Amino acid sequence: MTVALRRSVRAYSAIAAIVPKMFMAYSIWVWMSWFVQIIAVIILVAFWRAVFSNTATVGGLDLATTINYLLLAMIFRSGADTGIIYDIGDLMRDGRIGLTLLRPVDMQATFYVQNLARIGLDTLLALPLALFAWLVYGLALPSDPLVWLAFLVTLLLGNAVLFCFDWIIGCVGFYSTEIWGLSVLRYGFGLFFSGALIPLDMMPDWLRAIATALPFSQALYLPVSILAGITPLSAMPRTWLMQLVYLAVLLVASRLVFTRAVRVVTVQGG
């Protein structure tokens, strides 16, 4: 058992190491993303200052809290976008899905490890943006280590929930010859309901209830609201219990759906 575990650790470590190499191979996109993100921050702050010009609070949040939340959401946005649907569609499109399925590692676990590696790398690459937000707009970060620990646990659980959800949607690709449209639709829904555009506190009660019930908010709004001081530490036991139940249900569902869908693989390329 120990030998098998070591082999698995080495295999998945090698898989995770591929992610930064891919980013370095296309480093021009890193520089461009920094430029685009800084422009987006400038526009974002200007927009919300205009929104709050005639009011002190919106949805119970003041201007400083809102801007701080949205800056943090931009920095940690990678946790709310697994890219699984597009990746599966890409494998189907060029015929690599057959080789991927034949590899002596679990396909879902492989994608999850790559997803974690990407989140870690994206967080490191977001440091210049965080520095800009801190110097120019006074980005406030909590000093309590317990807040950071709660944020990390919530982020990892929320991202795992979202990963299983995206995996289920991605399995539709096994029944289709093109999944691009579905990935775009999922991205749009995720962008709105994750809390990336506005804090969920500003939504009407009925819409907020829908947003919190969907898995998108688990990976962005919940962890970022902890850092922004919107969600207190006292709410963590209930939050984690909800995430664990959500994760258990979606994990079982994702395994069952994948087991069924892989039997009807359609490959365009090859």
The most confident of the ranges 6-10, 180-184, 207-211 is 207-211
What pLDDT was estimated at residue 71?
A: 95
Contact criterion met (CB below 8 Å) for 208 and 201: yes
Nearest CA to 155 out of 77, 241, 68 is that of 77
How large is the angle between the packed helices 63-75 and 27-51, nearest 10 degrees? 170
State the CB neighbour count (10 A cutoff) for residue 52.
17
Q: What is the pLDDT of residues 71-113, one digit of tens each?
A: 999 999 887 888 888 888 877 777 777 777 777 788 888 889 8
Q: What is the pLDDT of residues 206-228, one digit of tens each?
A: 999 999 989 999 999 999 999 99
Does residue 13 surpass a pLDDT of 70? no
Q: What is the pLDDT of residues 35-71, one digit of tens each?
A: 888 898 999 999 999 999 988 998 889 999 999 999 9
Whether the pTM exceeds 0.85: the reply is yes
Q: What's the chain's average pLDDT?
A: 85
Which residues pair with residue 62 across a beta bridge? 57
